[in-house]
A and B are shown apart, each in its own frame.
Chain A
Amino acid sequence: MQIEDFDAGAEARALARANAKVGALASFVGLVRDLNDGAAVAGLALEHYPGMTEKAIAAVIDEARERWDVLDCTVIHRVGELRPGDQIVLVAVASAHRGDAFAACEFIMDYLKTRAPFWKKERTPAGARWVEARASDERAAARWNAADRRKAG
């Protein structure tokens, strides 16, 4: 968790250099959009639950490590005041092969969106409003369990 911006390229390079076994590196950067649910967004404030946030993200990373061959991983989430175009979140996963890197990166992002205690409040022309959770995010996270069941069956 940090207020400051991050350099996704530098974070990715650091992961790649740290271990000679790294053959694949997948990264995702989430940005602030200027439009959400039909309203212009001038900016947003990100609130979190200090303590639980770190714990929840560590748990998500642990779970990804159990499921895939993850050599190393970096997750950065910003808090505080952000504007359209600003970076919010970085997930970077280093693995020996691309399949594990892609899957673990997407899994961490999906779980982070439904399990880590962050809340966005948008500033729009009609005033500030709390962003509503999306059912599509719950479905995105749930499909990882469905995939496990298919594998097991």
Chain B
Amino acid sequence: MKVKVLFFASLREQLGTGGEEIELPAGAGTLADLRAHLARRGGAWQTALAEGKLVRMALNQDMVKASAPLRGGDEVAFFPPVTGG
């Protein structure tokens, strides 16, 4: 199952990328699973996405909890708490 992943603001800078298409490993069914999968890449990924880091998540452009389930073709975004206005 493939999903599109986007990164914004400080997270985008830390990871050095605005996003990518990712083939999810078998058994990865939620945003939390995807986050853990990315963190396992180590280095900046581990630092930026480690458990306990304040990271907000969006699924198909709606803010969601980490337990939200993923489907093929979904657009997922990871970003820091928002600071507009």
Contact = CB atoms under 8 A, between A and B. Distances in A.
B53 to A, nearest CB: 13
Interface residues of B, number: 17
Interface stretch (B28-36, B65-73, B77-85): B77-85
B61 A49 contact: yes
A47 interface: yes
Contact of A118 (B6, B54, B61, B84): B84
B61 A52 contact: yes
A91 to B, nearest CB: 9
Contacts of B79: 49, 117, 119
A137 B10 CA distance: 19
Contacts, number: 73
A113 interface: yes
Nearest to A44: B83
A89 interface: yes
B85 A47 contact: no
Given A47-B8, A49-B58, A55-B61, A115 B77 contact: no
Contacts of B9: 47, 119, 121, 130
Interface residues of A, number: 28
Contact of A117 (B8, B10, B54): B8
A77 B85 CA distance: 7
Contacts of B54: 133
Contact of B82 (A51, A55, A88, A119): A119
B82 A30 contact: no
B61 A89 contact: no
Interface of A: 30, 46-49, 51-52, 55-56, 77, 88-89, 109, 112-121, 130-133, 137
Interface of B: 6, 8-10, 54, 58, 61-63, 77, 79-85
20 contacts: A47-B8, A49-B58, A49-B61, A49-B77, A49-B79, A52-B61, A56-B61, A56-B63, A112-B84, A113-B83, A117-B79, A117-B82, A117-B84, A119-B79, A119-B84, A120-B83, A130-B80, A132-B81, A133-B82, A137-B85
